[in-house]
Chain A
């Protein structure tokens, strides 16, 4: 049998990145500030995790303006959605095997 741990996505190894992906999966787009509030993180910390997800092609960034303030929003890409589902499947498999 395939070891489900191999199927776990390395990028999702952090709670923050998983949190970001979870929020983006159920929303068309989420702003930087909303993510910050949801995951309760400092700007710099969140930004570096977002950068990593972006570099993997799992999320896309959209820079806009609300009035004069910049408003950066994030959305999940097709590849990101697929990777996240695979990751969830792997987690599910792991739990099933432990139950045995």
Chain B
């Protein structure tokens, strides 16, 4: 019946335009995989640095030393490995973003959708707000010497950012956000294992999410 087909076609059109005009749908699954691989590499280097320091050993033994306020020892820790860890973190973050942008750029140009559009800007803004606020808060924690809460903090704020951003891109990213939040909250009770939780969240969850999304949306394309 052509009438029915026409009506269904109309509804499909409406839905399609609502989606395309309000969400940035070119986010590539491979971006997730790429960011996850960067995170695992970063965690591996960071683990080397931490394992090489005394503070790392006591932290691994599960003491709550990390929660202490900056005393002499932690100040030394700060200058001794803070710098290298900070470099690793920065390089990891930048490479993850670059890799993610490249894969998403490739997908969007295949689809003929501009990368820099009002939908992508809205997505970036809504992800950036919780991330920047969280990032500043974490810097303050580092200053206070509360290293044990850095990894949980990263996971929690990133999770919140993803849940917030899910309204402006492929909705499934919400579940990645929930996963990050869950890991972040659990890791609060496992001081000394922050890096493992961090690697599980930023590395494994990203990769799993990326593969699932790639399978779902990009495989045949």
Contact = CB atoms under 8 A, between A and B. Distances in A.
Given A34-B21, A38-B21, A98-B3, A22 B14 contact: yes
B172 interface: no
B11 A38 contact: no
B3 A22 contact: no
Contact of B8 (A27, A37, A88, A95): A95
A68 B8 CA distance: 43
B218 interface: no
A23 to B, nearest CB: 4
Interface residues on A, range: 10 to 19
Chain B interface main SS type? helix
Chain A interface main SS type? helix
A41 B143 CA distance: 55
B1 A98 contact: yes
A2 interface: no
B20 interface: yes
A23 B21 CA distance: 6
B118 A95 contact: no
B4 A18 contact: no
Contacts of A46: none
A11 interface: no
A57 interface: no
B17 A38 contact: yes
8 contacts: A15-B10, A19-B13, A22-B13, A23-B18, A26-B18, A39-B17, A91-B7, A95-B4
